[in-house]
Chain A
Amino acid sequence: MDILLQLIVSGIAVGGVYALIALGFVLIYKATSIINFATGEFMMIGAYFFYTFMVMAGLPPIPSFLLVMLCSAMLGLFIERAILRHMLGQPTISIVMVTVGLSSILMGLAEMIWSTDFKSFPPLFPRAPVIIGDIIVRSNLFWGFIAAMIAVIIFALLFKYAKVGVAMRATAGDQMAAFSMGINVRSMFTVAWAMGAIAAALGGVIIGNIGGIQPTLGSIGLKIFPVVILGGLDSIAGAVVGGFIVGLVENIAGGYLDPYVGGGVKDLAPFVVLVLILFIKPYGLFGKQDIERL
Chain B
Amino acid sequence: MAAHPILSVEGISLSFGGLTVLSEVSFKVNPGEIFAIIGPNGAGKTSILNCIGGFYRPSAGRILFEGDDITRTSPDRRAARGLARTFQNIALFRGMTVLDNIKLGAHAHLKTGLASALMYWGPAHREEMALRERMEQEVIDFLEIEPIRKQAVGSLAYGLQKRVELARALAMEPKVLLMDEPVAGMNAEETEDMARFVLDIKEERDITIVLIEHDMNVIMDISDRVMVVNFGQKIAEGTPDQVQRHPEVIKAYLGEKKG
A→B interface (CB under 8 Å): 162-164, 166-167, 169-170, 173-174, 176-177, 179-185, 187-188, 191, 290-293
Q: Which of B19-27, B99-107, B185-193 contacts A (4 or more CB under 8 A)?
A: B99-107
Residues of chain B whose beta carbon lies under 8 Å from any beta carbon of chain A: 53-55, 74-77, 79-80, 84-85, 87, 91-96, 100, 103-105, 107-110, 112-114, 116-117, 120, 152, 154, 168-169, 172
* Contact residue among A174, A176, A182 (Cβ-Cβ distance under 8 Å from B80): A182
User: Once the chains bind, are A163 and B74 in contact (CB under 8 Å)?
Assistant: no
Q: Whole-angstrom distance between the alpha carbons of A217 and B105 in the complex?
A: 44
Q: How far is the CA of A179 from the CA of B104 in the complex (A)?
A: 11
- Asked if A163 and B76 make an inter-chain contact with CB atoms under 8 angstroms apart, the answer reads no
A164, A176, A181, A290 — which one has the most chain B CB atoms within 10 A of its CB?
A181
Q: Which residue of B lies closest to A167 (CB)?
A: B112
In angstroms, how far is the closest chain B Cβ from the Cβ of A279?
26
User: CB < 8 Å: which of B74, B77, B96 contacts A169?
Assistant: B96
Check if A180 sits within 8 Å of B107, measured CB to CB: no
Whether A191 contacts B114 in the complex (CB less than 8 A), given A179-B75, A290-B154, comes out as yes
Query: Which residues on the A side are within 8 Å of B172 (C-beta)?
Result: 181-182
| Residues in chain B near residue A179, CB distance under 8 A | 53-55, 74-76, 79
Are B112 and A173 touching (Cβ within 8 A)?
Answer: no
| Cross-chain contact B79 with A182 (CB below 8 angstroms) | yes
A292 touches which one: B85, B95, B114 (CB < 8 A)?
B95
Shortest CB-to-CB span from B17 to chain A, Å, is 15
The 5 residue pairs across chains A and B that have the minimum distance between CB atoms: A182-B108, A182-B79, A177-B91, A173-B93, A179-B75
Interface of chain A, main secondary structure: helix
With A176-B55, A292-B152: A183-B112 Cβ-Cβ less than 8 Å: yes
Q: How far is the CA of A169 from the CA of B95 in the complex (A)?
A: 9
**Complex formed: what's the CA distance from A188 to B113 in Å?**
9
Which residues on A sit within 8 Å (CB–CB) of B85?
Answer: 180
Supply 13 further A-B pairs (C-beta < 8 A) apart from A179-B54, A293-B95: A163-B110, A163-B117, A166-B103, A166-B104, A169-B96, A173-B93, A173-B96, A179-B53, A180-B53, A180-B84, A180-B91, A180-B169, A181-B104
Contact of A177 among B77, B92, B110 (CB under 8 A): B92
Number of A-B pairs, beta carbon distance below 8 Å: 92
Q: How far is the CA of A2 from the CA of B46 in the complex (A)?
A: 67
Given B96, B105, B117, B154, which contacts A181 in the complex, CB threshold below 8 Å?
A: B105
- In angstroms, Cα B129 to Cα A163, docked, is 12
Chain A to chain B contacts (Cβ below 8 Å), 8 pairs? A164-B114, A170-B104, A174-B91, A179-B55, A180-B53, A183-B76, A184-B76, A293-B95
Of all chain B residues, the one with the shortest Cβ separation from A191 is B114
- In the docked arrangement, what's the CA distance between A95 and B60, Å? 32
Q: Which residue of A lies closest to B155 (CB)?
A: A290
Which chain A positions have C-beta within 8 A of B120?
162-163
* Chain A nearest CB, measured from B249 CB (Å): 30
Residues of A contacting B53 with CB < 8 Å? Answer: 179-180
Assuming the contacts A167-B112, A182-B107, A183-B112, asked whether A176 and B117 have C-beta atoms less than 8 A apart, the reply is no
- Chain B nearest CB from A119 CB (Å) reads 32
Residues in B with CB closer than 8 Å to A176 are 55, 87, 91
CA distance A185 to B112 in the complex (A): 10
Does A166 contact B100, Cβ atoms closer than 8 Å? yes
Counting chain A CB atoms within 10 Å of each CB, the highest count among B96, B110, B112 belongs to: B112
Checking B76, B109, B112 against A164 with a beta-carbon cut-off of 8 angstroms, the contacting residue is: B112
Give the chain B neighbours of A177 by CB distance below 8 A: 87, 91-93
A181, B108: Cβ atoms closer than 8 Å: yes
Q: How far is the CB of B250 from chain A (nearest CB, A)?
A: 35
Q: Is the CB of A163 within 8 A of B91?
A: no
Measured CB to CB, the closest approach of chain B to A292, in angstroms, equals 5
Q: Is the CB of A290 within 8 A of B107?
A: no
